[in-house]
Amino acid sequence: MSIVIGGMIGLGKTSVADLLKAYFQHKGIESKVFYEAVDDNPILPLYYQLTPEELDAKRIPFLLQLFFLNKRFKTVKECINWKNPVYTIQDRSIYEDWYFAYVNKNLGRISDLEFKIYEELVDNMLEELDQLPKKAPDLMVYLKGSFDTVIDRIMARGRSFEINPELKEYYFEVWKGYDEWVMNHYNASDVFMIDMDVTDVVNNEADAKKVCRDIETKLNEILYTAKAHIG
């Protein structure tokens, strides 16, 4: 089964992915995590550090969206073709990339023409994936939280290129529409929401165990429903 971990920047997608892998491993269930391309991303620091004028001149937001889209397309294919694990776990999905591109268009960082080209490329990629047996995930685990929690978590993890105070407006623009997009526009899979305002999977072992158990229960429900439908 395929799981994607979605949600706002800083809320703990990678931490939840790692927890799930360790949880399944402890139970003797093989899984593999496909991480978001952050540390080896040459464009991301520029996106956060350059001035608006430099971003515009170099078209960095558009390049960043293409970079992520290409990496996630490759990840989806790897997940589909991976033979061994019972579970594949993706750190953010190709579907969420569209939302980030949309926000950047609304902010004027991506032009209407660039967004049109981006959407056509996404459509082409998804058409290619349609030829494969199972492109969509079985479950999105969506991490949601208040804007204060988002900022606190971003500051706490301390990636230097993310903690510029001037980025707060950008984070707010992404945050304010994320829940609405997931609830009303995302339809690739079931969604399991975790309230990160009251959940700390890094520092609270009870929270970490509960999240893993709840996700496993949801996956079993999806599997049971699918088998019942086939039968």
| Catalytically active residues, by annotation | 91
Give the span between the Cα atoms of 212 and 218, in whole angstroms.
10
Residue type, 150: V
- C-alpha distances in Å from residue 163, one per residue of 63, 80, 122, 152, 159: 22, 36, 30, 10, 7
φ/ψ of 123, rounded to 5, equals -60, -40
How big is the chain, counted in residues? Answer: 231
User: Is 53 strand, coil or helix?
Assistant: helix
Which helix (H) or strand (E) covers residue 91, if one does? strand 87-91
Token pair for residue 133? 């047996």
**Token pair in block for residue 59:** 């078209």
